[in-house]
Structure 1
Amino acid sequence: MEEYYWDTKLDYLKRTRDLYYNDDYFEFLVKFVWKLSKPVHIIDFGCGYGYLGLKLLPLLPSGSTYTGIDKGNQLISKAKELFQDAPYETEFIVSDTNEIELEKKYDIAVSQAFLLHMSEPKKILRKMVNSVVDGGKIICFEPHWIAGMSSYYLDGFDQSQIVQLGMLQKLYEEGAKQTGRDGNIGAKLPHYLSELGVKNIECRVSDKVNFLNPEDNEKDKEGLFHSLKEDGVGEKPEHKEAYITSLINRGVSLDDAVEQYDSVQLFSQVFNINSSLAWAPGMKITFGEITNK
């Protein structure tokens, strides 16, 4: 049996999730935006190792429960391990979310950086909506890649030297058309949820800004730097000819492909542990109410 890709990425997931959220922002959402004052039963689509459960359950009213679904056996095993001594009622299911059939019994359906990897995200959204009881909520933490790419500042360089926004925007859009997988889905979710009949839709943006400060102590710098590198910041491109050829095969002109390669190569060369870098990923958090009225 072919190994599930995300089962091989557990270490990556654990080292990079905190690049996207501040813990106090989760608390703000739970207490002041969603105003969750009664126990809730949450189902997490594409739960991975249970990241959202680990963040949300300590903030939710006592008696709240958490169910996580993921295709990865190793991810679910890790989730069970992390929660085995926790004082919460949890359930973890190994299943393909495209295929699983669920009862309409949950108060909240959530996803976190999951829908962007789905070739039919609207199909998953419908499953999420259909799993929630009347008056419940759907909450999606999903990225808007081009917004995140526009939020880099590396001291000593113009952003246009290291990030080609126009090129990336076209590549993201074309990739979504070809595969259905859309890294900009976070910006589209309010519209998609409206199409599914979800009411009272709102969207927030995570307030997380990562600042790699050359004046910080070495331990703090090293931790953040390696998390950023793990997430692809300043990643070294593949061999030049192969990189350019792959872009041309995706419809990019030779001149644009060369310019994109040069900017990525420059970023990889100048970004190091002593760089001064600020980056706001801008994760979109979209939510609404399920109602049959």
Structure 2
Amino acid sequence: MTDAPEYADPQRYAELAGFDGGYRDLWWNQDFLELMAKRWGLHERAHVLDVGCGAGHWGLTLLDHMPTHARLTGVDAEPNFLELARARANARPHGPRCEFVTGRAEALPFADASFDVVTCQTVLIHVADAAAVIAEMRRVLRPGGILITCEPDNLAGNLALLGTSLPTSDEDTVEIIRFVQRCQKGKRTLGEGDERIGHQLPGLFAAAGLTQIRCHTNDRCMQLVPPYTDPSMRMAISQELAWARQGISIIAATEHDARRLHAAANGTPEQFEIGWSATHRWLTDFVEAVEANRFTAARGFVFYIASALR
């Protein structure tokens, strides 16, 4: 194992990000998206750019709420992700109206004022300079066009995820949050993004000269209640157990990356072992409770949706 992040391997990143299957579709309620599409006026828009499109989930989701002649362009730095996006688009009726190209969010390969919708989902948490990416998104947005970003505050979200039926002690809860906070500081130190970028979006939009800034929070809870017969519950359980069997939790990801980020924040090996052990106890308890059909949780997450006009 090298010091490089595990997500540097595109195939591994796709596994860690849940690109395969419908796990990411669990992030949204369709009636909520219909409401947001009305608020954003997507019925009047014709061309959407999905920045950092990955396997195409978010851009294709928005296209479902746009006119039948609307087009989608997805851009991502990883060609392997674009192949996944093309396959996903081609499996849908509007596949011919989709195009996916290689490019970086910091230097979008498009002319000024090319799109009337520019969007991204869970991208700004992974970039070194979110303001620079927003400036690029604004550049390629037409006057009167709308910019839409969906980004979390993962520190707050992790605290919410700890509110379950598990008997997690107060001491472990504190150690897990301290551990996660230190790892997130290490990520910022390494220039790999800010896991709390969601709550900064209004200020970043204002600084970029965008207007009519509006923020909302996602209304989705990925609730789990035995016997987990609901399709969305089965999908969530299947994905998270698959991660757990590799020692990966939705709170702290992989041990390799957690150790790397923790060290970048000047965390000591002793502090790492305390935090990782508490996180691993939580993960072990989660797996045992799910397999015994006794895990319950609302599992809300802190996901900000910000929009603004150019």
TM-score tier by shorter-chain length is: 0.7 to 0.9
Letter in 1 for 2:267: V
Q: CA deviation at 1:136?
A: 0.6
Counterparts of 1:94 and 1:189 in 2: how far apart (Å)? 26
Residue 159 of structure 2: aligned partner = 150
Residue 18 of structure 1: aligned partner = 25
Residue 44 of structure 2: aligned partner = 38
Q: CA deviation at 1:185?
A: 0.9
1:49 and 2:62 are equivalent in the alignment: no
Letter in 2 for 1:21: W
Given that 1:7 and 1:73 are in contact with CA atoms closer than 8 Å, whether structure 2 keeps it comes out as no
State the percentage of identical aligned residues.
20
Which of residues 129, 133, 153 is equivalent to 1:120?
129
Counterparts of 2:109 and 2:213 in 1: how far apart (Å)? 25
Counterparts of 1:116 and 1:20 in 2: how far apart (Å)? 17
Residue 276 of structure 1: aligned partner = 296
1:92 and 2:96 are equivalent in the alignment: no
Given that 1:4 and 1:72 are in contact with CA atoms closer than 8 Å, whether structure 2 keeps it comes out as no
Residue 141 of structure 1: aligned partner = 150
Stretch of structure 1 that moved more, 186-195 or 166-175: 166-175
Letter in 2 for 1:200: Q
Count of residues in correspondence between the two structures: 285
Residue 249 of structure 2: aligned partner = 232
Correspondence 1:1-293 to 2 at 5 A: 5-11=9-15, 12-15=18-21, 16-31=23-38, 33-84=39-90, 86-87=93-94, 89-103=97-111, 104-152=113-161, 153-158=163-168, 160=170, 161-162=172-173, 164-217=176-229, 221-229=233-241, 230=243, 232-233=249-250, 238=255, 247=262, 250-252=265-267, 256-272=271-287, 273=290, 274=293, 275-290=295-310
Given that 1:109 and 1:128 are in contact with CA atoms closer than 8 Å, whether structure 2 keeps it comes out as yes
DSSP-derived class of the 1:107 partner = strand
DSSP-derived class of the 1:268 partner = helix
For the structure 1 residues 136 and 158, does the alpha-carbon distance in structure 2 shift closer, same or farther, using more than 3 Å as the test?
same
Cα deviations by residue, 1:95-149 (Å, 9 ceiling, x for unpaired): 2333443212210110111121112222211110000011111111112111211
Given that 1:42 and 1:66 are in contact with CA atoms closer than 8 Å, whether structure 2 keeps it comes out as yes
Stretch of structure 1 that moved more, 196-205 or 15-24: 15-24
Counterparts of 1:105 and 1:214 in 2: how far apart (Å)? 49
Counterparts of 1:23 and 1:159 in 2: how far apart (Å)? 36
Given that 2:49 and 2:115 are in contact with CA atoms closer than 8 Å, whether structure 1 keeps it comes out as yes
TM-score of the two chains, using structure 2 as the length reference: 0.80
Structure 1 residues without counterparts, runs of 5 or longer: none
TM-score of the two chains, using structure 1 as the length reference: 0.84
DSSP-derived class of the 2:19 partner = helix
Counterparts of 1:143 and 1:246 in 2: how far apart (Å)? 19
For the structure 1 residues 248 and 204, does the alpha-carbon distance in structure 2 shift closer, same or farther, using more than 3 Å as the test?
same
Please provide the CA RMSD for this pair.
2.9
Q: CA deviation at 1:244?
A: 7.2
Structure 2 residues without counterparts, runs of 5 or longer: 1-6
DSSP-derived class of the 1:92 partner = strand
